[in-house]
Chains A and B, each alone.
Chain A
Amino acid sequence: MTSIATSNGGAAARTARRPTMRARLQQALPKLVLAPSFAITLVFVYGFILWTIYLSFTNSKAFPKYVLTDARAYQRLWRWTFESDPPSSWYTSITNMAIFGVLYVVFALAIGLLLAILLDQKIRGEGILRPIYLYPMALSFIVTGVAWKWFLDPGLGLEQTMHQWGWTSFHFDWIKNKDYVIYTVVIAGVWQASGFVMAMFLAGLRGIDGEIIKASQIDGASPLQLYRRIIIPLLRPVFLSALIVLAHMAIKSYDLVVALTSGGPGGSAWLPSNFMYEYTFKRNEMAVGSASAVIMLATISAIIVPYLYSELREKAR
């Protein structure tokens, strides 16, 4: 650079060059700063995704093998998908995923919205109530799982306490029951997430223009109509964000099942993530584990990609 500047000689040329250098540097700075993290993400996220896909087509057992064989892992998963009597572990995992995913998202949204609406009534002590509801989110799923495990265990928690208080006919053993254990996972999960959803909705409610509400009140809208017709429709973007957050939390949840149920009676509380970990690391069937991971990834993409697409399209408009 300097040699070019000196060969050009004049001071005027030098002053003309300097800002462009700085500008160039400034332009490059974000790229330079981001480059390491970009490279790391590229390798450790996308590189490993490709690696997992590759492994799912090999015959890997305890250790990765790199000779491509066939799609036997997928064939097995496909066969297991339809084995319902007795349920195969994969069948249990995906049906549990459907039950857990739907109930978790719906209840967390409903309870979160209800709490937000109630808290939005300008009540006293909101400052105290809000963190109380929000704080379950600060706990890890392991803590939530263990706490609820003790609470739901018939020999330790709720049932035992009710019996001690004299209500001996009280019976609640879902956590020990193969058919109901997945619902205890829903209960603990909803308890953890709904406060967070409430905070999102509360922010949304606070963002609504007061003029609109006043105008509709003048028009004679009852509170119920006001919420049903005006406020909740206005919260649509919040719904979308909450849905995305909850959906991906549901799909990746693993620790809650382990801490709360340790897999449930006969493995009846498994989610696909539990299946993947079991097969890859405990059963030395890395190919099957990888194939299930690929299927989980495909499921997540099916949710995230349309979302990203709609987001980007809106921005382009």
Chain B
Amino acid sequence: MRRLMMAAAMLATTALTAHADDVKEVEMLHWWTSGGEAAALNVLKQDLAQQGYAWKDVPVAGGGGDAAMTALKAMVAAGNPPTASQMLGYTVLDYAEAGKMGDLTETAVAEGWDKAVPAALQKFAVYDGKWVAAPVNVHSVNWLWINKAVMDKIGGTEPKNFDEFVALLDKAKAAGVTPLALGGQNWQEATMFDSIVLSTGGPEFYKKAMNDLDEDALKSDTMKKSFDNLAKLKDYVDPNFSGRDWNLATAMVINGDALVQVMGDWAKGEFVAAKKVPGTDFLCYRFPGTDGSVIYNSDMFGMFDVPDDRKAAQVALAKATLSKSFQSAFNVVKGSVPARTDVPDTDFDACGKKGIADLKAANDGGTLFGSLAQGYGAPPAVANAYKDVVSKFVHGQITSSDQAVEELVKAIDDAK
């Protein structure tokens, strides 16, 4: 009740402070408030400033963007949408379905987006044949981030399959290092489980289970095996993991307190910020058994249906966002890879180069899959039901893989 009232109050204040007279202005809602992210966004600001557009920030702090999405909902419901907003996957489609998004098709055709942007991303940027969002980057989720010093100490080599991975973790355990750095928040656990499912069942199975939500696949023995593998990995996590933030888990790997973290490539941003160099300080491998496939999520700038006098600014923003120079400059800092496949990888480090090559290969080979944990596999209701089950399994409310599969089918069915 209180929350609703707060939302109502927010709605009232945004309505009062809104004045959209200035056409030479871009209003942008986002949750990129950390140092590196803000610096990356500056590239875009300067680009637009050169074209004479002022930049009006609506930053809403909070890593996962939940707070930002609440603020956005209030702004849009009040009929006062920003020019654009950082958005994820199905959220864009939700807004498009509700008729709140603008139409950038003209610009997209002129700029050749449909050829440059991977088809998997277009699924979320294009609704009903119209371009409604400008993808900013592609993150991929199925990565291992390894501390090289620890790896050398225990004499480990790159694990090629799940069993070798477990053997590697055993070595670290024997050497007295925390083998696996994990944050016990449901999205982190589910992000790791995305990779496990892909590794256990292969690309076909991942697509069926996690993107198509095929009930037979969800019920299958492969899914049970995936949960068993998750249980195996859980044994290598330190007892204090519950509730830990992802960047603290990354810090454990950076500092050499832990060997490896399974995390999306935004973890690389943390390594870079700590002045670590790929190859000498840390190693990046694909999650064992998932080489050749990429589980992605992507930040997009959703473009709202703004009044006509603001459309020029919106087009300028969209063009700048998908320009090769911005795509390169931004993603070097963010740790992700460009959202178009024709950006040269010259400025990227070794992990970034691998990421770009992998994305291209996966896009061509049809093995580019949306991450269910990150909201690119299914709408929020389903994605959260999935995260619930995985998290309850990790923390012991669900005690067997049989039960986990049963709960998963039920939860997804319920949320659909």
Residues 69-104 of chain A, each 1 if its beta carbon lies under 8 Å from chain B, else 0: 000000010000000001101000000000000000
Q: How far is the CB of B184 from chain A (nearest CB, A)?
A: 6
CA distance A86 to B399 in the complex (A): 8
The residue of chain B having its C-beta at the shortest distance from the C-beta of A300 within the complex is B1
**Which residues in B have their C-beta under 8 angstroms from that of A155?**
240
- Is B70 a contact of A176 with CB atoms below 8 Å? no
**Which residues in A have their C-beta under 8 angstroms from that of B379?**
284
Residues 341-384 of chain B, each 1 if its beta carbon lies under 8 Å from chain A, else 0: 00000000000000000000000000000000000000111001
- Is B4 a contact of A293 with CB atoms below 8 Å? yes
CA distance A270 to B346 in the complex (A): 48
- Is A48 a contact of B5 with CB atoms below 8 Å? yes
- Is A293 a contact of B1 with CB atoms below 8 Å? yes
Point out the residue from A262, A282, A284, A297 that lies within 8 Å of B1, measured CB to CB. Answer: A297
- Is A276 a contact of B73 with CB atoms below 8 Å? no
A interface, how many residues as a size bin? 35 or more
Residues 149-190 of chain B, each 1 if its beta carbon lies under 8 Å from chain A, else 0: 000000000000000000000000000000000001110000
Point out the residue from B73, B242, B397 that lies within 8 Å of A86, measured CB to CB. Answer: B397
The residue of chain B having its C-beta at the shortest distance from the C-beta of A79 within the complex is B414
Residues 261-275 of chain A, each 1 if its beta carbon lies under 8 Å from chain B, else 0: 111111110000100
- Is A283 a contact of B381 with CB atoms below 8 Å? yes
- Is A86 a contact of B407 with CB atoms below 8 Å? yes
Point out the residue from B69, B395, B398 that lies within 8 Å of A265, measured CB to CB. Answer: B395
Interface check B307, CB cutoff 8 A: no
- Is A62 a contact of B94 with CB atoms below 8 Å? yes
**Which residues in A have their C-beta under 8 angstroms from that of B275?**
none
Interface check B52, CB cutoff 8 A: no
The residue of chain B having its C-beta at the shortest distance from the C-beta of A177 within the complex is B242
Interface check B75, CB cutoff 8 A: no
- Is A283 a contact of B3 with CB atoms below 8 Å? no
User: Which A residues between 265 and 317 are near B, CB-CB below 8 angstroms?
Assistant: 265-268, 273, 276-278, 280-285, 293, 296-297
Interface check A178, CB cutoff 8 A: yes
Q: How far is the CB of A99 from chain B (nearest CB, A)?
A: 16
**Which residues in B have their C-beta under 8 angstroms from that of A282?**
66, 69, 380, 384
- Is B242 a contact of A61 with CB atoms below 8 Å? no
CA distance A246 to B4 in the complex (A): 22
The residue of chain B having its C-beta at the shortest distance from the C-beta of A43 within the complex is B8
Stretch of B42-50, B212-220, B261-269, B386-394 with 4 or more beta carbons under 8 angstroms from chain A: B386-394
- Is A61 a contact of B185 with CB atoms below 8 Å? no
Most buried by B among A52, A89, A175, A176: A176
**Which residues in B have their C-beta under 8 angstroms from that of A49?**
1
- Is A284 a contact of B94 with CB atoms below 8 Å? yes
Interface check A252, CB cutoff 8 A: yes
Interface check B403, CB cutoff 8 A: yes
Point out the residue from B2, B70, B395, B403 that lies within 8 Å of A266, measured CB to CB. Answer: B395
User: Which B residues between 68 and 102 are near A, CB-CB below 8 angstroms?
Assistant: 69-70, 73, 77, 91, 94-95, 98
The residue of chain B having its C-beta at the shortest distance from the C-beta of A269 within the complex is B243
Q: How far is the CB of B387 from chain A (nearest CB, A)?
A: 9
CA distance A76 to B415 in the complex (A): 11
Interface check B396, CB cutoff 8 A: yes
The residue of chain A having its C-beta at the shortest distance from the C-beta of B389 within the complex is A86
The residue of chain B having its C-beta at the shortest distance from the C-beta of A55 within the complex is B4
Q: How far is the CB of A141 from chain B (nearest CB, A)?
A: 12
The residue of chain B having its C-beta at the shortest distance from the C-beta of A47 within the complex is B8
Q: How far is the CB of B85 from chain A (nearest CB, A)?
A: 14
Given contact pairs A281-B69, A284-B379, A268 touches B5 in the complex (Cβ within 8 A): no
Given contact pairs A262-B243, A281-B73, A61 touches B3 in the complex (Cβ within 8 A): no
**Which residues in B have their C-beta under 8 angstroms from that of A61?**
94, 381
Given contact pairs A63-B98, A264-B243, A281 touches B3 in the complex (Cβ within 8 A): yes
Interface check B239, CB cutoff 8 A: yes
- Is B77 a contact of A63 with CB atoms below 8 Å? yes
- Is A86 a contact of B398 with CB atoms below 8 Å? yes
Q: How far is the CB of A194 from chain B (nearest CB, A)?
A: 23
User: Which B residues between 232 and 260 are near A, CB-CB below 8 angstroms?
Assistant: 239-243
- Is A265 a contact of B4 with CB atoms below 8 Å? no
The residue of chain A having its C-beta at the shortest distance from the C-beta of B69 within the complex is A281
Point out the residue from B70, B241, B388, B415 that lies within 8 Å of A267, measured CB to CB. Answer: B388
CA distance A297 to B415 in the complex (A): 25
Q: How far is the CB of B375 from chain A (nearest CB, A)?
A: 10
**Which residues in B have their C-beta under 8 angstroms from that of A268?**
395, 397
Most buried by B among A44, A63, A175, A254: A63
**Which residues in A have their C-beta under 8 angstroms from that of B184?**
176, 265
CA distance A87 to B389 in the complex (A): 10
Interface check A45, CB cutoff 8 A: yes
Point out the residue from A86, A153, A284 that lies within 8 Å of B380, measured CB to CB. Answer: A284
CA distance A122 to B44 in the complex (A): 67
The residue of chain A having its C-beta at the shortest distance from the C-beta of B94 within the complex is A62
- Is B388 a contact of A89 with CB atoms below 8 Å? yes
Point out the residue from B4, B77, B94, B414 that lies within 8 Å of A48, measured CB to CB. Answer: B4
The residue of chain B having its C-beta at the shortest distance from the C-beta of A149 within the complex is B243
- Is A266 a contact of B98 with CB atoms below 8 Å? no
CA distance A53 to B272 in the complex (A): 50
Point out the residue from A261, A273, A283, A284 that lies within 8 Å of B243, measured CB to CB. Answer: A261
- Is B381 a contact of A86 with CB atoms below 8 Å? no
Q: How far is the CB of A218 from chain B (nearest CB, A)?
A: 52
**Which residues in B have their C-beta under 8 angstroms from that of A277?**
3
Point out the residue from A62, A76, A153 that lies within 8 Å of B98, measured CB to CB. Answer: A62
Q: How far is the CB of B16 from chain A (nearest CB, A)?
A: 14
- Is B395 a contact of A252 with CB atoms below 8 Å? no
CA distance A264 to B70 in the complex (A): 22
Q: How far is the CB of A79 from chain B (nearest CB, A)?
A: 9
- Is A285 a contact of B381 with CB atoms below 8 Å? yes
A-B contact pairs, 21 of them (CB 8 A): A44-B8, A48-B5, A49-B1, A52-B4, A61-B381, A62-B94, A62-B95, A86-B392, A154-B239, A175-B243, A176-B242, A176-B243, A177-B242, A263-B186, A265-B184, A265-B242, A265-B243, A266-B391, A281-B69, A284-B379, A293-B3
- What 7 pairs between A and B have smallest CB-CB spacing? A266-B395, A265-B395, A176-B242, A265-B242, A266-B392, A266-B391, A62-B94
